[in-house]
């Protein structure tokens, strides 16, 4: 029997500051065989820990094609993530996983894809966006709608420029609070609906962001013609184990950690209203 609670040491290779409170960590497992064998799907997460501090679920930002390393984009929000932000390259961090289900890439071949992210919601979507761009020809149009509080809080600033240049791809960005240099859109992510043609009957949407954003985005998506089963939402919940045991991420009879974190809106609608906390 495997001991699922034992994490494996990984070394921080580099750290990219994304904003004042968010950093992307590039990690390589200390054990080379594990580093090469570690396999995951876009949308999955790992349990990240520092010994003596604690453990938390963090979604994987890198893409399965990035062999040998793992990227995690982490906002300093709690005790553990603040401690992780103090780390330097060559420091050790502990990882177990990957856990949870993933975004369905194979099933959406040939379809138009719409990615809607709010704030720290872009990192989990980046994994699937990268996987899509790796085989761009397999999919229809790609639209990425991304909202952040301030221009500083936009993640992957360099990469956003690259995405903008991709074939048949529309990238629209908005911020709630512009600074003096900001020339782009201002407002919450749903205000981008006026700028992008979102009308579709067969498009597939991938949504990640804070609960209040998900609520408004789903309403807009439904009005634009998206079907319940074509809206994929990745949920966040407090988790302690990641393997369907500790109980913290329960919604109805489901566990976000093993049945999710990716659910269609069709599935979400069947969850008890009092527990789903969105839409």
Partner 1 sequence: MKEQLLGKDSVKALCMSASDRWETYVPIETIGQDVQFIKLENQTKEITLDKLNLDYEFLLVPPKVMLFPQIESLLKFQDGKIIETVKPQARRLFFGLRACDVKAMLFMDDFFKRNFEDIYYLNRSMEKLLVIVGCKRPLENCFCTSVKTGPFLEKGFDLQLIDIGNKYLVEIGSKKGKEFVASYGRFFDEASEDDVEKSNTAKCNTEQAVSLRLDFEKAIKKFCEDKVPNQIYERIAQRCIYCGGCLYVCPTCTCFNVFDEQNARFGGSRYRNWDACVFEGYTREASGHNPRLEKWVRTSRRYEHKLKYDYLTTKMSGCVGCGRCLSTCPVNIGISQVIEEVAKN
Task: Decide: is 149 part of the binding site for partner 1 (CB under 8 A).
Answer: no
Write the CB contacts of 165 (distance below 8 Å, at least 6 apart in sequence): none
185 or 267: CB nearest partner 1: 267
Closest by alpha carbon to 161, among 189, 184, 191? Answer: 184
Question: Which range in 34-42, 130-138, 239-247, 260-268 contacts partner 1 by CB under 8 A?
Answer: 239-247
Among 166, 244, 264, 267, binds partner 1 (CB under 8 A): 244
Q: Give the dihedral of Cα atoms 64, 209, 114, 57; nearest 10 deg.
A: 20
Q: Pick from 17, 37, 67, 92: which binds partner 1 (CB under 8 A)?
A: 92
| Residues β-bridged to residue 47 | 57, 96
Cα distance between residue 108 and residue 152, in whole Å: 33
How far lies 75's CA from each of 17, 98, 128, 255, 266, in Å? 10, 20, 20, 24, 30
Tokens of 212: 């209040």
Please tell me whether residue 144 binds partner 1 under the rule CB under 8 A. Answer: no
246 binds partner 1 (CB under 8 A): yes
Q: In the complex, what is the shortest distance from the CB of residue 205 to partner 1, in angstroms, rounded to a whole number? A: 22
Per rule CB under 8 A, count of chain residues that contact partner 1:
44
Stretch that binds partner 1, among 48-56, 138-146, 150-158, 224-232 (CB under 8 A): 48-56
Q: Which of 68, 78, 225, 266 binds partner 1 (CB under 8 A)?
A: 78
CA dist list (Å): 137 to 9, 21, 115, 134: 37, 36, 17, 9
Query: Closer to partner 1 at the Cβ: 17 or 51?
Result: 51
| Residue in 149, 196, 258, 269 binding partner 1, rule: CB under 8 A | 258
Q: Which of 17, 53, 162, 186 binds partner 1 (CB under 8 A)?
A: 53
Positions in the binding site for partner 1 (CB under 8 A):
1-7, 9, 49, 51-56, 77-78, 80-81, 92, 94, 210-211, 236-238, 240-241, 243-248, 250-253, 258, 272, 274-277
């Amino acid at each position: 029997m495997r001991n699922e609670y034992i994490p494996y040491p990984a070394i921080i290779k580099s750290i990219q500051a994304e904003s004042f409170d968010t950093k992307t960590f590039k990690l390589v497992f200390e054990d080379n065989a594990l580093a090469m064998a570690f396999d995951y799907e876009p949308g999955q997460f790992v349990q990240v820990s520092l010994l003596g501090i604690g453990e938390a679920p963090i979604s994987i930002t890198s893409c399965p094609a990035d062999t040998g390393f793992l990227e995690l984009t982490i906002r300093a929000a709690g005790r553990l993530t603040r401690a992780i932000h103090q780390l330097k390259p060559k420091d050790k961090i502990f990882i177990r996983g990957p856990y949870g289900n993933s975004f369905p890439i194979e099933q959406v071949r040939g379809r138009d894809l719409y990615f809607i992210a709010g704030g720290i919601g872009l990192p989990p979507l980046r994994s699937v966006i990268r996987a899509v761009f790796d085989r761009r020809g397999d999919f229809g149009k790609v639209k990425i709608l991304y909202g952040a509080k301030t221009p500083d809080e936009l993640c992957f600033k360099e990469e956003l420029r690259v995405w903008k240049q991709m074939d048949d791809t529309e990238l629209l960005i908005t911020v709630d609070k512009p600074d003096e240099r900001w020339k782009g859109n201002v407002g919450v992510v749903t205000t981008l609906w006026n700028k992008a043609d979102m009308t579709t009957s067969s498009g597939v949407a991938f949504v990640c962001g804070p609960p209040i954003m998900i609520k408004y985005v789903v309403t807009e998506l439904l009005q634009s013609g998206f079907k319940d089963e074509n809206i994929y939402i990745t949920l966040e919940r407090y988790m302690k184990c990641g393997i369907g045991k500790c109980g913290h991420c329960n919604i109805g009879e489901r566990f976000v950690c093993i049945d999710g974190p990716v659910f269609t809106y069709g599935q979400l609608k069947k969850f008890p209203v009092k527990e789903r906390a969105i839409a």
